[in-house]
Structure 1
């Protein structure tokens, strides 16, 4: 790709490459030229921005990043002999994150330890014989998982405060209920769900017995959300245009109208007029008379760096500003609050520094001493971070304000079936915080001592309380307008070039037939989650050609007489194994596996193969096995696009939050592969 036009046929991006096909310059209409430099073996070494702080990368002899210098400072990385990340020493003192791995199971993490000025914050991980997470121990206590049979659906999570979270599922492994109970069995918080034959949630019932019923249009966008008892805050209707933009929203009969331009940029919303820069970033939101103004600024990677509020209708003491600083992995590392002082201008208030495990925050500091530490377990994917941490928060521990900054209180999270935090339990189980949201994340109720202080709420993501926006990892989401602030960067060559050194992928992933890069969660956040702000991927081959896509899913009830809970394992992962060898080993397992009735056996085995490889060996082996075109070892003996698609479907199905059983969900998926 050499250039890109927007929907108005205006050139917005232009790329220049060297003789080896590497990106050397990116020009954008809003940000001008960014230059890229490489070492002699092709590793990206420098990103030279026109305005933002440059990013520089250094590598070891195995082409792994060892040093990263960026706007946040300098980060150093080391690796184990097996190639796993061993330490990440961040830009500040006493902030090294250390990873420990299983001695006999390669790449299986057993501990994460975060250095502090005094002591450390640790998360120790233990596993059962099937390599399922059985317990996590931190300074917040020990959390223990129990599972349904031999599968990966967890049914009980014992909390350190003697409370427990229990999950219930139907015969197709869909979550029907999640309960937080105290040691006496009293229900403190619960969420119950009913489904239609298309696996869409039709009813959500809460602890107090109130419920919401959901309706959908013919492309599965949420159409109605009607609360019991005629609640005015939960009698909602949604209407979308043909490009999937929210056009109208009704609330108990009151109509709110939203207008977009040909670029799908929001131009007007109730009470405000919106403007964007030439890169599609929201830059201002005003009331027309400029009595109220929200302003947004971005760096040269189109990352939000500042949002501020000013209004002539209120005292200037109520004006505020929030600034963000990112590292080279595009993670927010610092957020700084400002207030306005007449005669002085913007006055800095608090500053929060974020320390990460991968892409999720495990500690906040302010700025040198720890203030809040988080324990994180299995998220909606059934892995530690496969769903971007959504539904995986376990606890929020508060540190003392004086040395040695010991823990002086912990709250325990409970989320609904879509990973929205609705309850924080204190040491006795009482509500430290409780929340209620509408389907797209607008807060309907917030109570409890720590309701304001806790920032992880809708989708288990971090909220900026004053603006109401949520930070998802690569973009900010505004629930008031049900859309992202800027366009999805996935597939943009400069964005992918920067991500590649640390987050390499065997296959490129591009936007899948998505005409609207501002749309959130397919306009159906009742059943769909967005892990990190890059939602809606598709697979392409090495030449960028789009691979065949499955037909629209059909209602599916797998063979009820088939034993989907039988235990199948790929065995232990071994480093240095080729993709062909992964597939051969998987085929040896699957050739002895019976096929559910009414399911195409070849497609089912291909799908199940990569799903099980993902479960037992991780994403890289799964994608590697899928990438070796069609695997001829599993029935058929010749290359077929349908079999290749079945391989990729297995990878996608592993991340399906509504079922954790590879055998069962591939039985459904295989029916839709042509």
Structure 2
């Protein structure tokens, strides 16, 4: 990537960019939509097709040996996704289909192997019950806390789950009858200080301490082994410099002048770990183990795996070498199916939370229920009768005492590769033995906090409070975004799933801005809500969904696309005043602007018509009112005109 020669505002170093051996080329059509991406090594080359009305139709990504991974989408007359297909190489398509009620809410999922799950919803569109097409109940009696989180349910195997929150809406207890019993306490900063295990007593209880920068400094539990006392130390650049568990493991970390881990000294018998990197900063050698990355930063080989394949969205799709495996991700980021040899696993969700895994093998079918702690880390599994199959203990940075099955998400809800021990977190791979990522953070470095300059650290060095949803940026656990607008005439929202790597928008930051665009209309509330749902952004997009549909906003002044957001559909908090609300939230690392959101809805007037409203907040200097008058920095009146034009499209579309 070549930047401007500051303070020059018009000349780019184009010659240097064109001659670069790592140059990535993007092609757009006449409507400014991305249609092709070309990498110099050919790995990840992408072709994109759209439907006649501008929705994503297919993505074809090329991998090693010319193997293509093709993702296809189909829609109903309302623009809702009714089909998702995946083809890896010459294999047969794996197609998932979806059905909706008259309100456009999803009520049925049909998996590629034909298994069907139906859900019963409440008036807010929240799931109350899930059952399959044979009538087997998977979960029932689901209740919700004021925060919007599921606070109670009964699994299909009879295990009753209760989740309690304190006054700060932090999880205070996770109680799965006779399976999990965890109680949490916090300090004034929101750091967890104790996790009490009501089933295993002192053996499973964890006590935690922090330094003045809220980095994990101490963790103690008999379950860790050794003397049970982990001690961590960090340097001023947030690098771990020592990780000590006397009697079991004591490690010291040594870094090069580029702030990359170079040497790991370990006294547990492994001697010295030597680390090496490629030109882009990807770790290519770890204690003699080799890793290969492509120009796009995707891990292509490691351990026994001779080739990882990826789809057009960057999701891992298959692993070649050893036992052949595949993974099938939906547009909202959820894993719906995986295969391992002849075994096929279906992933069943309650909202955005994994509930159970149904695996078909040559020997038969088994249903395994997943029991997670407050941090979405696997704590236990149980079978169809409620019998506990496994319990799991994790070190502070994610090393398991007993690794879960390869098809089961474990630490922070992510899959672990049995071949390498690495945790696959979407954009990057994480090494729990080192407590850091193998590659640099794709999110731009920034100074607040200073530790964000560290390109490899995990979860702000506070892994009990933060986690990384997709390998890009850590978020405060709760795994949801809570939107409480600065303008009090705009409704606050129940939590939405944090599948965008959100950190939070700060109203006290000098870059904070708001915008508020309104258009009077004669649309009914239903017409307005449908219009915003089906046309959530100014770009060519897909309809908003409860779990967040990935959309490309397109070109932004001075910032050509792609610019990705997730479009969430949120039930109205007050149907007498507002329609259902569509929320577009920037995807961290995949949008040229920094974090922000726009809420789009209709304000209901006394005569039954609506005022269309698009209200946004964010932290970006280009959109700050102080800079709006500077043409090459600010947007000026373009924000107003873009949303007004989109409002008019919605009005015209309803006629």
Same fold (TM over 0.5): yes
Q: Verify: 1:267 aligned to 2:248, yes or no.
A: no
Distance 2:133 2:572 in 1: 40
The one of 112, 127, 132 equivalent to 1:139 is 112
Distance 1:194 1:72 in 2: 50
- Conservation of the 8 A alpha-carbon contact between 2:71 and 2:87: yes
Correspondence 1:2-401 to 2 at 5 A: 16=5, 19=8, 24=13, 36-37=17-18, 48-49=21-22, 55-63=24-32, 64-71=34-41, 73=43, 75-80=45-50, 81=52, 82-91=54-63, 92-93=65-66, 95-106=68-79, 108=81, 110-159=83-132, 162=136, 164-166=138-140, 167-177=142-152, 179-182=154-157, 186-187=158-159, 191-228=161-198, 231=201, 233-252=203-222, 254-270=228-244, 271-287=250-266, 292-304=271-283, 306-309=284-287, 321-326=289-294, 328=296, 330-332=297-299, 334-337=300-303, 349-356=304-311, 358-361=313-316, 363-367=317-321, 371-374=324-327, 385=332, 389=333, 392-400=334-342
Distance 2:44 2:147 in 1: 48
Q: Verify: 1:571 aligned to 2:539, yes or no.
A: no
Size of the alignment, in residue pairs? 503
Distance 2:60 2:323 in 1: 18
- Conservation of the 8 A alpha-carbon contact between 1:273 and 1:286: yes
Distance 2:82 2:587 in 1: 12
Q: Verify: 1:474 aligned to 2:427, yes or no.
A: yes
Query: Relative to 1, partners in 2 of residues 1:526 and 1:160: Cα closer, same or farther, differing over 3 Å?
Result: farther
Distance 2:319 2:428 in 1: 22
**Structure 2, gaps ≥5 residues long:** 245-249, 344-359, 476-501, 515-524, 544-570, 606-614, 621-655
Distance 1:209 1:283 in 2: 42
Distance 2:12 2:504 in 1: 21
In structure 1, the residue corresponding to 2:95 is in which secondary structure?
strand
In structure 1, the residue corresponding to 2:392 is in which secondary structure?
strand
Distance 2:107 2:24 in 1: 40
Query: Relative to 1, partners in 2 of residues 1:437 and 1:125: Cα closer, same or farther, differing over 3 Å?
Result: farther
Match in the other structure for 2:346:
none
- CA offsets, 1:249-289, max 9 Å, x none? 22247322211111111111111111233443333322279
Q: Verify: 1:458 aligned to 2:411, yes or no.
A: yes
**Greater share of helix:** 1
Match in the other structure for 2:484:
none
- Conservation of the 8 A alpha-carbon contact between 1:439 and 1:525: no
Distance 1:326 1:433 in 2: 39
Give the drift of 1:88.
1.5
User: Alpha carbon RMSD of aligned pairs, Å?
Assistant: 5.1
Distance 1:302 1:410 in 2: 44
Distance 2:528 2:440 in 1: 41
- Conservation of the 8 A alpha-carbon contact between 2:369 and 2:381: yes
In structure 2, the residue corresponding to 1:104 is in which secondary structure?
coil
Q: Verify: 1:547 aligned to 2:489, yes or no.
A: no
Give the drift of 1:196.
0.7
Give the drift of 1:528.
6.1
Query: Relative to 1, partners in 2 of residues 1:633 and 1:296: Cα closer, same or farther, differing over 3 Å?
Result: farther
When the two structures are superposed, what TM-score results if normalisation uses the length of structure 1? Answer: 0.60
Distance 1:351 1:429 in 2: 39
- Conservation of the 8 A alpha-carbon contact between 1:280 and 1:487: no
Give the drift of 1:238.
1.7
When the two structures are superposed, what TM-score results if normalisation uses the length of structure 2? Answer: 0.62
- CA offsets, 1:389-443, max 9 Å, x none? 4xx4454433449xxxx975766564436544566788x7798974524485635
Distance 1:441 1:525 in 2: 9
**Structure 1, gaps ≥5 residues long:** 3-13, 26-33, 38-45, 311-320, 338-348, 378-383, 493-509, 550-565, 583-588, 596-604, 636-642, 649-674
Distance 1:20 1:109 in 2: 46
Match in the other structure for 2:552:
none
